[in-house]
């Protein structure tokens, strides 16, 4: 459509003067008047009229256009929400009769509903509106809730409690003219601030009659429809984005669907693994053009991960250190997801197998499904391709344990010697200066040996300090490969090299746990796996493995970090308190332990209560759905893995129940342990059926929150409790009639068992079928049906989320539960007669977004617990045993630091990462020798050159691993003053982030400026510390190499200007930022206008 519209055409429709000052008007050189068209009814009607009378089969005639429009808004601002030039997607329809035009109007409005509700998955309002300058008899507007949109609507809270579609609403302009949303009283009318995103009009014949658009002599009946493309995107960004730096949009509008973060190191195997992953993802039709590959290898993985999150990419796969370490078996991919509630990527966990990876991707939601069910047939073939592509080379035939240990039942010192094996590997010895140039060559990197513990690595140090050796895999080196390698070395360096041999002995202590167990078992027997709960390792051995239980227990005790007790489950979980009898295999008989999850501590006695450590991801997923105005009911609470995070995050109130009194004891103890309040928490010791019928029902009838959530995490018995919800609110005196004024969601965990080897889709259908049978509702719609984990070959655990209707809750046909004082026996997981042919289940997977925004607050008391353990301790024995770098790394991660980046590119983000990394160098955490001699610091004097300081460092720590810490992000950690002594000996720390650290004071600066960081540190950030004062800031001027210093929200720093001036004088090359205090938050991402910048 043309941008300019002539005055004559607009005068024919009588709208030249009607638009008034909102229309931009211009004159050409002949003084003819034009306008920048604010809408195109005149132009499109003229176009139809010029075609003459068309045949009847053409109608309804639908004309689409997307283009710019211009309007001199009365209130301009807020970017695309209110702009003078805007982009619209318009539809103009022409019909012969009013009835046909009405049908077209309803059809297009239904399409708009599907676009916003199903495609974008957003909450919106549809209201009657004033046609305004457009004209016509009737119009409807589509609105999004927005505080800055400058629109308002009125709707009835009574008529719209059960749905987010405010069909009984009117625009604010109509309300001012006396138009009410419905016939309810005025107290029910609510005014909400919104922004208009779409508008539809029934125009009738007002344009066609004036401009001559006819059929058989009668004017055509018109409708027009429009979606503000720019405004929709701007409004959704404002509504969904958690901060100014993090973009969030519905899944359909995301710039990419999946991001793949490539590894920093260009190791051939890891890069091949990444290429296979990208190639297989590309075979999925819905992802072909929506895969973002970040190959900026010069940036850290953490920075690229944050960039992908800031772009709003829903799913992020990281191929990092854990992937590289798992290539010898089933590869691992780190999986992150961007969420509306968080401006940082949310770690979901590791996806351990190709099948698991794609199974997860086929069910993940961000607004709606990533892969539609129609693709499941294609998905199976992709999984097969991926399984082949992902199957990396396992342990070489050389790296296998001797058959002499097969069948042993007792592990003695003499038997351990049978695990020893001497291996000879081909090597090429080269000078250290050229080693980095050679290992990056494809011809060499593709033939090097994979890392195996600390003894076999691609590059090793030789006896002489002036020599290093590149170690090759014997299976990849033949005469042709030898000549290629030697020729490459000569071409790159000009040196003539030759092959030699390197002998290494692999002992019992060097072998990983799984190869050891596999070696002792007879052929045909396999060890399933284990779970670790604190210091307890729990296995579930099949009958054929019981003769080897003691040796399995001893191997686990020797090789699992922090393991002190190994137990086997003797019977099924069938006790009334859901516990089982334990068989001690190895270690001490101590079942009282402590586990940590999401910065919360849980104490328990594993012999008295049941706890599954494999459900941490499921805990986080459910908890994210609970808002601050939500009620949370946990029918089978256990020791509180759902309850404690909800209490910490803040909910309307929480009711927790468990039949096992020991669970309630530890739940109460854990609440106190984590310094949480009982103000909004109530605990009950009842049968789950009684709890639902009495406590839960009474509470629902007396509260009006935003929503209510019920969790039933007792997979073997949850289905038998579902009928207890039927009619539970019938005749409740305080319930408002027969309507619950808020939605009630149930999250039910249960088992599905197949009678035969069946497709994954069968399990999903059967899961929904079991829920429908238990509730007696054949047409139940599911918000989400989620696969949680595989329990056994044909037994899987699912979680179904659904909303219970008012008809079900208030129906008089109640079903009284059989109350026996205990929960009775487990239900059969599924009827074996439920074959594929007998299923009648319909797939109803997620039709609405299930995420309710929540704010994840970090409890100061939780960090206090960590702080008391580590901040006042500096362990010289750890420094002397591990070396300064690894000792500092251990301290940082034990205190809860966010990330530490090492000189070899490794990114350590958790205590598990830290322990694996340190263990790879051959250190054992339980074997730290006691140091009696006093520890002496290396002198760091201003007059000593860095070259000499490095020589002192190299000489003192020559026997320790040649790696060092480069970057420290200690955000939200519990590091304290004494621990800063670990930094003093660190070789080359360049970046130090100390944001939201509440436990160090001015004393900490003395340790920093008296050690090597005073010469190596380049970047320091300190945000939100309640203790440091002017003395700390001024002490930083002794860090001569500093290039950037940022400080924000330091209430005890009184003379900011004086501190800045002091730093400016002492460090002229350092950029210092100290924004003026206006609000708590990161100031360095968007420095305020009046901030002091030097």
| Segment 137-159, tens digit of pLDDT | 788 889 888 777 677 888 776 66
If one looks up domain 4-240 in CATH, what number appears?
A: 3.30.930.10
pLDDT at 865: 43
Q: Which CATH number fits domain 860-1093: 3.80.10.10, 3.40.50.1370, 3.90.650.10, 3.40.50.720?
A: 3.80.10.10
Average pLDDT score, the chain:
79
pLDDT at 577: 55
pLDDT at 603: 92
Question: Which residue is it, tokens 């050891």?
Answer: 516
Domain 251-390: give its CATH architecture.
Answer: 3-Layer(aba) Sandwich (3.40)
Binding residue per annotation — 294? no
Long-range contact pairs involving 1072-1081 (C-beta distance under 8 Å, separation at least 24): 1072/1044, 1072/1045, 1072/1046, 1072/1047, 1073/1045, 1073/1046, 1073/1047, 1073/1048, 1074/1046, 1074/1047, 1074/1048, 1075/1048, 1077/1048, 1077/1049, 1077/1051, 1080/1024, 1080/1049, 1081/1048, 1081/1049
462-484 confidence digits (pLDDT tens): 876 678 889 998 888 888 988 99
- Please report which confidence band the pLDDT of residue 736 belongs to, taking 50, 70 and 90 as the band edges: low
Higher confidence at residue 294 or residue 732? Answer: 294
pLDDT at 327: 65
Same fold, 4-240 and 860-1093: no
Q: Please, which residues have CB within 8 angstroms of residue 947's CB and are 6 or more apart in sequence?
A: none
Binding residue per annotation — 688? yes
Beta bridge mates, 306: none
pLDDT at 172: 65
Token pair listed for 980: 């800063």
pLDDT at 931: 66
Binding residue per annotation — 619? yes
109-125 confidence digits (pLDDT tens): 889 988 888 888 888 88
If one looks up domain 620-672+681-838 in CATH, what number appears?
A: 3.40.50.150
253-309 confidence digits (pLDDT tens): 888 889 998 887 666 777 777 877 777 776 666 666 788 888 888 788 888 888 998
pLDDT at 666: 92
490-542 confidence digits (pLDDT tens): 888 888 888 888 888 889 988 888 889 999 998 878 887 888 899 999 988 88
Residue 276: phi, psi to the nearest 5?
-60, -45
Record the pTM: 0.44
Q: Please, which residues have CB within 8 angstroms of residue 292's CB and are 6 or more apart in sequence?
A: 255, 256, 258, 259, 260, 308, 311, 313
- Please report which confidence band the pLDDT of residue 44 belongs to, taking 50, 70 and 90 as the band edges: very high
For residue 514, the Cα-to-chain-centroid distance in whole angstroms is: 30
pLDDT at 579: 61
pLDDT at 288: 61
Do residues 349 and 335 touch, judged by C-beta distance below 8 A? yes
Q: 842-851, 933-942, 1006-1015: which range is least confident on average?
A: 842-851
Three-state DSSP class for residue 543: helix
The answer to whether residue 225 scores a pLDDT higher than 90 is yes
- Secondary element (H or E) of residue 317: strand 315-318
355-382 confidence digits (pLDDT tens): 445 444 443 433 323 333 333 333 333 3
pLDDT at 171: 74
Instruction: Tell me which residue of 790, 789, 755, 783 sits closest to 768, measured CA to CA.
Output: 783
Tell me the fold of 421-506.
Alpha-Beta Plaits (3.30.70)
* Domain range summary for the chain, segments of one domain joined by +: 4-240, 251-390, 421-506, 620-672+681-838, 860-1093
Residues 52 and 36: their CA atoms lie apart, in Å, by 27
């Amino acid at each position: 459509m043309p941008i300019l519209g002539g005055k004559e055409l607009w005068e024919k429709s009588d709208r030249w003067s009607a638009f008034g000052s909102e229309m931009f008007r211009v004159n050409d050189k002949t003084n003819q008047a034009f306008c920048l068209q604010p809408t195109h009814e005149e132009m499109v009607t003229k176009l139809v009229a010029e075609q003459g009378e068309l045949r009847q089969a053409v109608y309804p005639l639908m004309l689409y256009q997307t283009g710019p429009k211009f309007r001199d808004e009365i209130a301009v601002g807020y970017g695309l929400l209110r702009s003078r030039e805007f982009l619209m997607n318009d539809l103009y329809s022409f019909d012969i009769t009013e009835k046909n035009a009405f049908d077209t109007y309803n059809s297009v409005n239904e399409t708009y509903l599907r676009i916003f509700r199903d495609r974008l998955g957003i909450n919106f309002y549809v209201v009657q509106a004033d046609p305004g300058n457009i004209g016509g008899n009737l119009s409807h507007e589509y609105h999004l809730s927005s505080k800055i949109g400058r629109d308002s609507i009125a709707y009835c809270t009574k008529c719209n409690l059960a749905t987010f579609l405010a069909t009984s609403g009117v625009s604010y302009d109509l309300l001012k003219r006396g138009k009410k949303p419905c016939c309810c009283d005025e107290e029910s009318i609510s005014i909400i601030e919104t922004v208009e995103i779409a508008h539809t009009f029934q125009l009738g014949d007002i344009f066609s009659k004036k401009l001559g658009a006819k059929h058989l002599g009668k004017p055509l009946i018109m409708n027009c429809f429009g979606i503000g493309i720019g405004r929709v995107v701007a409004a959704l960004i404002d509504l969904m984005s958690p901060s100014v730096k993090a973009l969030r949009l519905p899944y359909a509008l995301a710039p990419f669907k999946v991001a793949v973060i490539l590894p920093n190191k260009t190791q051939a195997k890891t890069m091949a693994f990444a290429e296979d992953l990208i190639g297989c993802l590309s075979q999925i039709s819905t992802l072909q053009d929506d895969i973002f590959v970040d190959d900026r290898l010069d940036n850290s993985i953490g920075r690229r991960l944050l960039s992908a999150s800031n772009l709003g990419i829903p799913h992020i796969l990281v191929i990092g250190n854990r992937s590289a370490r798992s290539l010898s078996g089933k590869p691992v991919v780190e999986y992150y997801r961007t969420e509306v509630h968080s401006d940082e990527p949310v770690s979901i966990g590791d996806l351990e197998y190709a099948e698991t990876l794609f199974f997860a991707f086929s069910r993940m939601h961000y607004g709606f499904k990533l892969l539609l069910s129609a693709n499941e047939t294609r998905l199976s073939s992709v999984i097969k391709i991926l399984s082949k592509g992902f199957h990396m080379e396992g342990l070489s035939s050389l790296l296998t344990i001797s058959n002499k240990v097969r069948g042993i039942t007792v592990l003695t010192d003499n038997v351990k010697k049978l695990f020893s094996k001497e291996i000879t590997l081909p090597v090429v010895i080269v000078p250290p200066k050229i080693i980095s140039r050679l290992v990056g060559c494809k011809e060499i990197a593709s033939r090097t040996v994979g890392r195996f513990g600390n003894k076999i690595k691609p590059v090793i140090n030789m006896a002489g300090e002036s020599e290093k050796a590149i170690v090759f895999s014997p299976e990849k080196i033949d005469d042709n490969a030898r000549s290629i390698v030697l020729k490459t070395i000569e071409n790159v360096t000009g040196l003539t090299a030759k092959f030699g041999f390197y002998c290494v002995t692999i002992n019992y202590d060097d072998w990983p746990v799984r190869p050891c167990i596999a070696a002792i078992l007879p052929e045909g027997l396999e060890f399933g796996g284990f779970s670790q709960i604190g210091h307890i390792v729990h296995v579930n051995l099949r009958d054929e493995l019981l003769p080897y239980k003691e040796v399995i227990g001893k191997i686990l005790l020797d090789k699992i970090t922090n393991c002190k007790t190994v137990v086997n489950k003797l019977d099924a979980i069938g006790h009334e308190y859901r516990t089982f009898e334990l068989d001690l295999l190895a270690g001490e008989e101590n079942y009282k332990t402590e586990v940590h999850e999401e910065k919360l501590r849980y104490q328990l006695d594993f012999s008295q209560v049941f706890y599954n450590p494999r459900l941490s991801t499921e805990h986080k997923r459910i908890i994210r759905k609970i808002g601050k105005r939500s009620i949370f009911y946990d029918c089978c609470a256990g020791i509180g893995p759902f309850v404690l995070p909800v209490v910490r995050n803040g909910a309307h109130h929480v009711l927790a129940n468990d039949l096992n009194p020991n669970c309630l004891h530890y739940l109460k103890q854990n609440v106190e342990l984590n310094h949480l309040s009982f103000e909004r928490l109530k605990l009950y010791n009842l049968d789950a059926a009684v709890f639902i019928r009495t406590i839960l029902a009474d509470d629902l009838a007396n509260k009006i929150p935003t929503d209510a959530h019920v969790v039933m995490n007792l997979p073997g018995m949850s289905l038998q409790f579902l009928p207890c919800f039927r009619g539970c609110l019938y005749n409740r005196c305080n319930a408002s009639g027969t309507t619950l004024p808020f939605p009630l969601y149930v999250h039910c965990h249960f088992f599905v068992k197949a009678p035969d080897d069946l497709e994954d889709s069968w399990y999903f259908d059967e899961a929904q079928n079991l829920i429908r049978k238990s509730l007696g509702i054949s047409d139940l719609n599911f918000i989400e049906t989620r696969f949680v984990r595989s329990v056994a070959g044909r037994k899987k655990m699912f979680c179904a989320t659904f909303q219970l209707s008012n008809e079900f809750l208030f129906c008089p046909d109640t079903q009284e539960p059989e109350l026996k004082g205990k929960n009775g026996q487990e239900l059969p997981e599924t009827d074996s007669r439920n074959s594929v042919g007998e299923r009648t289940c319909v797939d109803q997977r997620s039709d609405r977004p299930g995420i309710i925004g929540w704010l994840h607050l970090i409890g100061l008391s939780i960090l206090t617990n960590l702080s008391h353990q580590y901040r006042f301790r500096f362990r010289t024995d750890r420094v002397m045993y591990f070396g300064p770098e690894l000792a500092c790394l251990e301290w940082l991660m034990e205190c809860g630091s966010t990330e530490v980046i090492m000189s070899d590119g490794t990114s350590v983000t958790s205590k598990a990462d830290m322990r694996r990394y340190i263990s790879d160098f051959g250190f054992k955490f339980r074997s730290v020798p006691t140091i009696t001699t006093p520890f002496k610091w290396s002198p760091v004097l201003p007059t000593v050159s860095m070259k000499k300081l490095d020589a002192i460092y190299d000489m003192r720590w020559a026997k320790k691993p040649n790696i060092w810490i480069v970057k420290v992000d200690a955000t939200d950690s519990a590091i304290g003053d004494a621990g800063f002594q670990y930094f003093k000996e660190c070789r080359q720390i360049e970046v130090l982030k100390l944001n939201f650290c509440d436990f160090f004071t001015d004393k900490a600066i003395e340790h920093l400026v008296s050690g090597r960081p005073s010469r190596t540190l380049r970047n320091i950030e300190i945000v939100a510390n309640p203790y440091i004062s002017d003395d700390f800031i001024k002490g930083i001027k002794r860090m001569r190499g500093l290039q950037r210093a940022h400080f924000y929200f330091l209430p005890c720093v009184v003379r900011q200007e004086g501190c800045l001036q002091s730093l400016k004088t002492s460090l002229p090359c350092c950029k210092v930022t100290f924004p003026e205090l206006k609000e708590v938050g990161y100031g360095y991402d968007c420095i305020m206008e009046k901030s002091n910048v030097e």
